Amino acid sequence: MTRPSTSAPTPTRYDGLLAAMPAPLVGGAAVGWLSSIPTIAGLAIGGLVAAVLVSVSLFVVPPT
């Protein structure tokens, strides 16, 4: 009896972009919480970086 060949899908750049989107928000919150800048400012900066990643994932590296 032979086992069917199952291979794991290879991650793409788009997968990396999707995985990286929450990181700027978490980083901005952590910087705001641990430093003297307001937490909302850290979240806003992190949100802008996340928005750039969303734009890149939609318009530069569209899913295939």
Which pLDDT band, with edges at 50, 70 and 90, does 5 fall under?
low
Give the per-residue pLDDT at 46. 92
Question: Can you say whether residue 34 is alpha, beta or left, with left for phi > 0 and alpha for psi between -120 and 50 degrees?
Answer: alpha
Q: How far apart are CA 1 and CA 6, in angstroms?
A: 15
pLDDT score recorded for residue 47: 92
pLDDT digits (tens, 9 = 90+) for 9-64: 888 877 887 888 889 989 999 998 999 999 999 999 999 999 998 888 888 877 76
What does pTM read for this prediction? 0.71
